[in-house]
Amino acid sequence: MTFGFLVSTPRRHLRSTNLSRVLPRLFARRYLHSESLEDCSVATMSTVNKTAHAFDKTRLDALLNRRFFYAPAFEIYGGVAGLYDYGPPGSSLQANIIAEWRRHFIIEESMLEVDTTIITPSPVFETSGHVARFADWMVKDTVNGEVLRADHLVKNVLEARLEGDREARGVAAAPAAPAPADKKKKKQAKTTAVKLEDAVVAEYESILAQLDNYSGPELGGLMKTHAITNPSSGNPVGEPQQFNLMFASSIGPTGQHPGFLRPETAQGHFLNFARLLEFNNGRVPFASAQVGRAFRNEISPRAGLLRVREFTMAEIEHYVDPLDKKHVRFADVADLELVLLDKFVQAAGQTTTKRMTVGQAVKEGVIANETLGYFVARIYLFLVRIGINKTRLRFRQHMANEMAHYASDCWDAEIQNSIGGWTECVGCADRAAYDLSVHAAKTKQPLVVRQALKEPLIEERAVAEFDKKVLGKTFKGDAGVVSAAVEALDEAGMMKLKGELEQGPATITADRKEFTLQSGMLTIERKTFKTNVREFTPNVIEPSFGIGRILYCLLEHSFWSREQDVERGVLSLPAVVAPTKVLIVPLSARAEFDPLVQEVSLRFRKAGVHARVDDSNTSIGKRYARNDELGTPFGVTLDFASVQNRTMTLRERDTMDQRIGSIEDVIATVTELVNGSIDWAEACQRLPAYDGVQAVE
Amino acid sequence: MTFGFLVSTPRRHLRSTNLSRVLPRLFARRYLHSESLEDCSVATMSTVNKTAHAFDKTRLDALLNRRFFYAPAFEIYGGVAGLYDYGPPGSSLQANIIAEWRRHFIIEESMLEVDTTIITPSPVFETSGHVARFADWMVKDTVNGEVLRADHLVKNVLEARLEGDREARGVAAAPAAPAPADKKKKKQAKTTAVKLEDAVVAEYESILAQLDNYSGPELGGLMKTHAITNPSSGNPVGEPQQFNLMFASSIGPTGQHPGFLRPETAQGHFLNFARLLEFNNGRVPFASAQVGRAFRNEISPRAGLLRVREFTMAEIEHYVDPLDKKHVRFADVADLELVLLDKFVQAAGQTTTKRMTVGQAVKEGVIANETLGYFVARIYLFLVRIGINKTRLRFRQHMANEMAHYASDCWDAEIQNSIGGWTECVGCADRAAYDLSVHAAKTKQPLVVRQALKEPLIEERAVAEFDKKVLGKTFKGDAGVVSAAVEALDEAGMMKLKGELEQGPATITADRKEFTLQSGMLTIERKTFKTNVREFTPNVIEPSFGIGRILYCLLEHSFWSREQDVERGVLSLPAVVAPTKVLIVPLSARAEFDPLVQEVSLRFRKAGVHARVDDSNTSIGKRYARNDELGTPFGVTLDFASVQNRTMTLRERDTMDQRIGSIEDVIATVTELVNGSIDWAEACQRLPAYDGVQAVE
């Protein structure tokens, strides 16, 4: 289960939780890394000073659309809300994020990768609880039939009224509730400057603060009480109805086998648990991992890549002994400092985060156990490595009432962005034994670990021994159910029966009938049992990643414009995820550069560095600028000097700094830069600065 | 469109074509590479002599199941036909095949990767023709309701009768039609030794030869004429009905937007054509590429990974000028020799293949054009590189009546295997301008290339000039439709009208009415037009890969058993796709080996070589044998000598040959072996043979 979706409570726990619940917080207008380090003294590229201009979402959107990072799917057919296609740079960025995820988690932790089907027969989701409860409340405009999400409607209308009240009072927008960045939303619930009674303001604020606690009928009640109508039409809306978010289909030609598209990849892991355990030689802990598509039929998605109907997830299910949630590599991360927003702070109505090492957090019980803490830390390291700004990343703990009863702890990695404020992009939950238990109960398959005990377990318990002859004579065909009823008694029940029989006849209910037992029929004794095998259902720690959300936040965090020209957008993607690592720029497309261009291309390919040639008929500066938009971190220029002296200049995207060296040296340096074994400062020590005129920008 | 599915004709052109149509041909019982090269003289690992035992599908299936390469999905819920989950080695093998596909096609050819949605609104598939025609004919058992594919039923029953006839006549099974390897099929249509009339035999054979030419009602007719019933029940079956193979669903909460799961990834490419063309600076040729899931609701899938309801495809759409289908890199592949089965040979009822270079084939018109030939060659190189046995790979051309009217040529890469005989695993078609044209016509979006002409195009054609005043006076509100009707005339029509007007009044039909034109209303003149831009709809060459089918065939081609022990299965997967490249085997799990194990692991990781440690408590020989089953090509052993002298032995999977060297040398050698820059023969020259006792097998 993913993105905080927990079976026991519906909407509140969907992956979209934060988007709807946590109001976007105001944040500094200068989003990018605040450290300012000049030229070659920088430690890493991601700390380069990318101040220049304030973040401009319109410009970013224009760039992403123009360069086809992604675009609405079926655009030429008018589009479908919540479905997006990735173009070449977006696909490549996504593939690189996934490749790094595989390296960071699957390879480095020796996880067992699986690839399971999307189509899932209905019984699986009946067991998991999705058929009954994976739903949102929706309302219909009674006149034009438009469908709205009930909680979003209440939120949008009340927020607009509060905003109107503030305008009427001449108060600036409260920091906690800025107008949503999403234009359509804005259009939906228009703000009019109308002053409200103080009591009404207080009531609205109270409703908004606990929006996730209302059931569907309660939301319907609020709409009546507060005369909430569809803001885009002014029409009344009907009673809230539940809408299951799974896409339904039918398997095979008879129509008798309903199925669903998975809303998460997790069930595919759980159903294969027995095979995976065997693959791991019967031992826990181990983890399965899967990257794949999942589907949620959102009611009316309007938040770009943050809320979509089809998305790529990466999920880990780590199976662990419930009695031992230590992690063998915990020491590796114990000193890592994280920004945490714990449940107690939130329950007190606050959002004050604290910095804490993972070691401290586990020691003080803020994070429930070592394994959970280990994964929270690993998630942090992954996100920062691919380029998420660590000052805009925090871990928020689920509050007690947010979690299902069986879960013991859950932390979301929230990444700040201009659409959703602090948005859940990764969930990390300790789901206890729930998933394996329900499937085992339903299928009668033992989804358990059997562990040989070093010391045999010795246990004393009461057991009944029957005189079968007497029993058969007395109860005839009922003898079996009577003895089964006795054997089904727990320890206390057994001892009570023993006591009763010592006094005289005792009665027992079996198969809805009462039977009278006599002392001659059975004896009850406490006996000692010795077992060499312990059997248990492992607990599951589940880190679950929404790749599209991470990708979008990464694009926001990476985007800025050159100081000298706001039109010149740059995506400062780290080399590890950048779609192309090196741009090869010959001075012109003239044939004399061809052999060198081919040589350099081949050398980069052999070194495993993804390079592209741009020999288009435009200035070198323009070609670089075009590739700054695509996030290409390095560029090499081949000119007449290259032909003559076999030298090549190297240009770094963020600083526009240029270096020069022999073709061999530059390629070796770039290879190390891309592999991350050196940083730009070290590269500068190897290659002297270049101050020629060839690539004036 | 993929796997030979062409819109104009339904079942016959589905990807499953071959599986149903081409009878499994008898092939040598020794499936594996026949070249026998001893020890270190081998040129490449794939030519190592892997004779030993005859191919045993039961053993392979047992291995794949036991080691969890893949397994029926939802097994603990009773399973669902045609849905499979990949376990750790299968996932990894699949991921490596895809990674190599990306490298071989996308990176090396600078293709534009896209990642489009699976959920597709109905109008898209209405335009493409899938809603109307992507269907199979099925029949229902009239008593128990079992659903069967109509063509499969006829085929199975008639083949069983012919087989029974041969038995009765005491004739051995004909080479062209051995009993199917699929046990269920065998069970379905039981063979009984009943002799048939000679005329009946001839009739059955004629029906089988042209099975794909029958429509649904014709298949129904055959069932009646030849008293074909459900072989598993003996019950009669009903009339054949069409069953659309797309999984249907509904997008959004209103139920008003029907959608389907894509049965191929191709439409996602075509719909983004305009954006992709812009990304490529408006120039053709270029190609888009996509790897992703597709779905087909097969009626009753029973052929393992060869016929599934959900599968991973890799598709390329190469857009090319219809007037210039040359390929700039054709010379690179022109000398490659392929095994071809052309359409003329097949039309003559034969299956004789011929060896031919790609250059020859294109020159002689066997393959329609250079671009198609180039991709056929690149497909061959890819398949052989990942380990497909080239002696069991051929390219079969579609026959004229197999292709849609708009397609100009189509070749399937067929791989021989024990389930489906020669099975289509890759399709490669020249689809002309069909796909872009239908979407452009439907959406009114210009899916065209505009090409600046070096020489302006000069064209003379007749045009009409109207005296609008007179026209308006005469026809009033109809003036517009009249002038439009004139302008819509073709050259001949226009000149005819000009002639008529010179004689007197002329009539023209517009909007279902007749109008009389006079010479004063318009003049028609031939004029010269000059254009600097040529506009055209590019043609599409489409290589389309079924990854699961390739993966299964690869497993069959790689499997063999050791001569000394049939129980010891080996998967001779090439290093490039092997799930794990190197097994690190310490003599025991004793702590004294730990530092070395960690050092060696780290060094392999730094070199980018995926290694795994097996320190389980069993003999080195057993550990190697276990990893032979997983296809791990290399193993290194750390023992007391390693601790003392920093030496390590290296073991090659197929030959079990062992070498020894310093830890550094062995790691360097393995890294080059895995990267493919040296082969085992070269490795043997660097590292002396080891004849110690440590890893007796």
A140 CA: distance to closest CA in chain B (Å): 9
**Cβ-Cβ contacts under 8 Å, A118 against chain B:** 118, 293, 295, 310
* Residue A8 clears pLDDT 60, i.e. is over it: no
Flag if B75 and A271 touch (Cβ within 8 Å): yes
**pLDDT score, position B510:** 83
**Cβ-Cβ contacts under 8 Å, A612 against chain B:** 110
* Average pLDDT over every residue of A365-391: 97
Q: Between A92, A110, A116, which is nearest B73 by CB?
A: A116
Specify whether the backbone of A313 is left (phi greater than 0), alpha (psi in -120 to 50) or beta: beta
Please report the beta strands in A438-587, taking only residues with DSSP state E, as ranges in sequence order: 449-466, 506-510, 513-517, 522-536, 539-546, 559-562, 565-571, 582-586
Q: How would you class A281 by CB atoms within 10 Å of its CB: exposed for 0-12, middle for 13-18, buried for 19 or more?
A: exposed
**What is the residue-averaged pLDDT of chain A?**
87
Q: How far apart, in whole angstroms, are the C-alpha atoms of residue A541 and residue A372?
A: 7
Flag if A116 and B86 touch (Cβ within 8 Å): yes
Q: How far is CA B405 from CA B125, B431, B432, in A?
A: 19, 10, 10
Flag if A124 and B77 touch (Cβ within 8 Å): yes
Query: Mutate which of B98, B127, B249 to disrupt the A interface (most A C-beta within 10 Å)?
Result: B249
Residue of A nearest to B117 (CA): A85
Q: What's phi and psi for A241, nearest 5 deg?
A: -125, 150
**pLDDT score, position B408:** 86
By the 8 A CB rule, do A534 and A284 touch? Answer: no
By the 8 A CB rule, do B270 and A268 touch? Answer: no
**pLDDT score, position B405:** 73
From B503, B412, B592, B325, select the one nearest B21 (Cα to Cα). Answer: B412
**Cβ-Cβ contacts under 8 Å, B116 against chain A:** 73, 85-86
**pLDDT score, position A52:** 52
CB distance from A332 to chain B under 8 Å?
no
For the record, the structure tokens of A459 come out as 């246990």
Flag if A87 and B276 touch (Cβ within 8 Å): yes
Q: How far apart, in whole angstroms, are the C-alpha atoms of residue A218 and residue A227?
A: 14
Greatest Cα-to-Cα distance within chain B, rounded to the nearest angstrom: 112
Kindly tell me the number of DSSP H helices and DSSP E strands found in chain A: 25, 28
Give the ipTM: 0.84
Q: How far apart, in whole angstroms, are the C-alpha atoms of residue A102 and residue B46?
A: 29
Cβ contacts of A263 within 8 Å, gap of 6 or more: A5, A130, A134, A245, A246, A294, A295, A296
pLDDT digits 0-9 by tens, A202-247: 999 888 877 777 889 999 999 999 999 999 999 999 999 999 999 9
For the record, the structure tokens of B143 come out as 């008593």
From A74, A70, A45, select the one nearest A60 (Cα to Cα). Answer: A70
Please report the beta strands in A6-153, taking only residues with DSSP state E, as ranges in sequence order: 70-72, 84-86, 112-113, 119-121, 135-140, 147-149
Q: What's phi and psi for B191, nearest 5 deg?
A: -90, 125
Query: Mutate which of A119, A237, A254 to disrupt the B interface (most B C-beta within 10 Å)?
Result: A119
Identify the three-state secondary structure at position B10.
Answer: coil
**Cβ-Cβ contacts under 8 Å, B259 against chain A:** 80
Flag if B88 and A276 touch (Cβ within 8 Å): yes
Query: Mutate which of A66, A69, A70, A85 to disrupt the B interface (most B C-beta within 10 Å)?
Result: A85
Flag if A119 and B95 touch (Cβ within 8 Å): no
From B650, B19, B642, B636, select the one nearest B308 (Cα to Cα). Answer: B19
Look at strands A634-638 and A582-586 and give their pairing: parallel
For the record, the structure tokens of A512 come out as 């809805």
User: Which of A39-43, A168-172, A615-619, B58-62 is least confident?
Assistant: A39-43
Tell me which residues of chain A, numbers 199 to 258, contact chain B at a CB-CB cutoff of 8 Å: 243, 247-254, 257
Cβ contacts of A38 within 8 Å, gap of 6 or more: A49
Chunk chain B into consecutive blocks of 10 residues (it has 697) and report each block's average pLDDT, rounded to whole numbers.
34 32 26 30 41 81 97 96 97 96 92 97 96 92 93 93 92 49 48 90 86 86 95 94 95 91 97 96 95 95 94 98 96 97 86 95 96 98 98 93 81 96 96 95 95 88 91 89 88 91 90 87 91 94 98 98 89 97 92 92 90 91 95 96 94 96 97 93 96 55
Q: What angle do CA A584, A585, A588 make, to 5 degrees?
A: 145
A511 CA: distance to closest CA in chain B (Å): 29
pLDDT digits 0-9 by tens, A101-135: 999 999 888 999 999 999 999 999 999 999 998 99
**Cβ-Cβ contacts under 8 Å, B249 against chain A:** 247-249, 261
Q: How far apart, in whole angstroms, are the C-alpha atoms of residue A272 and residue B73?
A: 8
Tell me which residues of chain A, numbers 262 to 281, contact chain B at a CB-CB cutoff of 8 Å: 268, 271-272, 274-276, 278-279, 281
A243 CA: distance to closest CA in chain B (Å): 7
Query: Mutate which of A63, A77, A112 to disrupt the B interface (most B C-beta within 10 Å)?
Result: A77
Partners of B647 in beta bridges? B662
First to last CA, chain B: 50
Q: How far apart, in whole angstroms, are the C-alpha atoms of residue B20 and residue B299?
A: 13
Identify the three-state secondary structure at position B478.
Answer: helix
Kind plus residue range of the DSSP H or E element containing A483: helix A479-487
* Residue A455 clears pLDDT 60, i.e. is over it: yes
* Residue A660 clears pLDDT 90, i.e. is over it: yes
Tell me which residues of chain B, numbers 436 to 465, contact chain A at a CB-CB cutoff of 8 Å: 439, 443, 445
Same fold, B135-244 and B564-696: no
* Residue A390 clears pLDDT 50, i.e. is over it: yes
For the record, the structure tokens of A668 come out as 């070796």
Domain A564-696 in this protein, CATH class: alpha beta
By the 8 A CB rule, do A252 and B81 touch? Answer: yes
Cβ contacts of B242 within 8 Å, gap of 6 or more: B10, B135, B136, B137, B138, B216
The domain spans of chain B are 84-117+262-434+541-548, 135-244, 449-536, 564-696
CB distance from A540 to chain B under 8 Å?
no
The CATH code that applies to domain A449-536 is 3.30.720.200
DSSP A105-167: IIITTT-EE-B--SEEEHHHHHHHTHHHH-EEEEEEBTTT--EEEHHHHHHHHHHHHHHHHHH
Flag if B252 and A81 touch (Cβ within 8 Å): yes
In what side-by-side order are the strands of the sheet with A248-250? Answer: A119-121, A258-261, A248-250
Cβ contacts of B478 within 8 Å, gap of 6 or more: B510, B511, B513, B515
**pLDDT score, position A172:** 63
Residue of B nearest to A579 (CA): B113
Amino acid at A634: F
Identify the three-state secondary structure at position A129.
Answer: coil
Query: In the CATH scheme, what is the homologous superfamily, with its name and number, of domain B84-117+262-434+541-548?
Result: Bira Bifunctional Protein; Domain 2 (3.30.930.10)
**Cβ-Cβ contacts under 8 Å, B80 against chain A:** 119, 121, 251, 257, 259
Q: How far apart, in whole angstroms, are the C-alpha atoms of residue B671 and residue B674?
A: 5
**pLDDT score, position B361:** 98
Flag if A114 and B67 touch (Cβ within 8 Å): no
In what side-by-side order are the strands of the sheet with A354-357? Answer: A112-113, A286-295, A310-320, A539-546, A421-430, A409-417, A393-397, A337-341, A354-357
Flag if A115 and B274 touch (Cβ within 8 Å): no
How many residues can be counted in chain B? Answer: 697
Amino acid at A182: D
Q: Between B102, B119, B310, which is nearest A83 by CB?
A: B119
CB distance from A123 to chain B under 8 Å?
yes
For the record, the structure tokens of B283 come out as 């120039």
Tell me which residues of chain A, numbers 139 to 168, contact chain B at a CB-CB cutoff of 8 Å: 145, 147
Residue of B nearest to A118 (CA): B310
Amino acid at B668: A
**pLDDT score, position B38:** 30
Look at strands B582-586 and B634-638 and give their pairing: parallel
pLDDT digits 0-9 by tens, B204-261: 988 887 777 788 999 999 999 999 999 999 999 999 999 999 999 999 988 889 999 9
Tell me which residues of chain A, numbers 344 to 403, contact chain B at a CB-CB cutoff of 8 Å: none
Please give the interface size between A and B, counted as residue pairs whose CB atoms are below 8 Å apart: 204
Flag if A83 and B117 touch (Cβ within 8 Å): yes
By the 8 A CB rule, do A333 and A378 touch? Answer: yes
What percent of chain A stands above pLDDT 70?
89
Q: Name residue, tokens 């690839």.
A: A115
B445 CA: distance to closest CA in chain A (Å): 7
pLDDT digits 0-9 by tens, A488-513: 888 889 999 999 999 999 999 887 88
pLDDT digits 0-9 by tens, A310-362: 999 999 999 999 999 999 999 999 999 999 999 988 888 788 999 999 999 99
CATH number assigned to the domain with residue range B135-244, chosen from the 4 options 1.50.10.20, 3.40.50.2300, 3.30.40.230, 1.10.357.10:
3.30.40.230
**pLDDT score, position A693:** 54
For the record, the structure tokens of B155 come out as 């085929």
By the 8 A CB rule, do B103 and B587 touch? Answer: no
Identify the three-state secondary structure at position B546.
Answer: strand
Kind plus residue range of the DSSP H or E element containing A550: helix A547-558
Flag if A249 and B251 touch (Cβ within 8 Å): no
**pLDDT score, position B50:** 56
**Cβ-Cβ contacts under 8 Å, A113 against chain B:** 88, 91-92, 95
* Residue A98 clears pLDDT 50, i.e. is over it: yes
By the 8 A CB rule, do B432 and B540 touch? Answer: yes
Residue of B nearest to A149 (CA): B253
